[in-house]
Amino acid sequence: MKPQVKNPGKLFARIMNYVFKTYKWHYLTVIALIFVSVLANVQGTMFTQRLIDDYISPMLLVDKPDFGPLGMAILRVAGFYLIGVLAAYLQNLIMIYVTQGCLRDLRNELFEHMQKLPIKYFDTHQHGDIMSHFTNDTDTLRQMVSQSIPNLFSSAITLASTLISMLILSIPLTVVVLLGVVVMLAVSGKIGGNSAKYFMAQQQALGKTNGYIEEMMDGQKVIKVFCHEDQTVDEFNKLNDELFD
């Protein structure tokens, strides 16, 4: 049975609420910049047809072509691409600020919460596993806030604008492409579903390995007194091989 995240929509909403709590206008600005960047790139791509049909083809039919209109058209499309580049640059700049701020706030809240936990919690949880929440798990959340969520918005806007452009250009070819996309999504979903359990197992194995290393380092004097160096190394190799696999 594959491990699954319970209520992924609710989890996504909690993350977005946490980000919007402090960086609402920053993130809305990022979404607007993504929209501008995607539309600028799509506009530049759509211009290729006009470039050939309206400028290059007519110039081939005359003896002394006028390159002025073509030059102005190229400058216009260059302007679109420049707007897209500037929007992408500002988007990344703002996301660095938002991501690092969210990570700082989250770790501060984690630390404050840890101070209120009873001693029993630390006796029943490995120190390395607790450290893993502060390092690996928060870093995973950082990647989601800084990359995955913006890419989700970017992909959605790109998909919608590209589909509209394709329908304008050729409906039959659009149908052919969509059939190919359906096949690709089916294959990707199958592969992704089979690999998800390994990603979750990797995080669990990483927590166990970190916890074991932390406890063995803290108790190395006891290990030496009772001559348990070989057993400790063997156990570490076992956990490390599980993580490697």
Residues with Cβ within 8 Å of residue 187, at least 6 apart in sequence:
none
Q: Give the CA distances from residue 215 to residues 50, 209, 223, 235, 245, in Å, rounded to whole numbers and listed in that order.
A: 67, 10, 11, 12, 23
Give the whole-angstrom CA distance, residue 126 versus residue 210.
Answer: 9
Q: Which two tokens stand for residue 62?
A: 């005359």
Residue matched to tokens 């420049």 = 82
Q: Give the CA distances from residue 122 to residues 116, 130, 170, 216, in Å, rounded to whole numbers and listed in that order.
A: 11, 9, 63, 16
Q: Average pLDDT of the chain?
A: 84
Tell me the pTM. 0.60
Which one is predicted more confidently, 171 or 133? Answer: 171
Which one is predicted more confidently, 131 or 96? Answer: 96
Q: Which two tokens stand for residue 151?
A: 């890419």
Query: 220-236, pLDDT tens digit by residue?
Result: 888 888 888 888 999 99
- pLDDT surpasses 90 at 202: no
Percent above pLDDT 90 for the chain = 11
Put residue 6 in one of left, alpha, beta given phi > 0 → left and psi -120 to 50 → alpha: beta
Query: 172-183, pLDDT tens digit by residue?
Result: 999 999 999 899
pLDDT score for 1: 43
Give the whole-angstrom CA distance, residue 145 versus residue 148.
Answer: 6
Q: Which two tokens stand for residue 23?
A: 């960086």
Taking alpha carbons only, the member of 76, 18, 87, 79 closest to residue 50 is 76
Query: 113-167, pLDDT tens digit by residue?
Result: 888 888 888 878 777 777 777 777 788 888 888 888 888 888 888 888 888 888 8
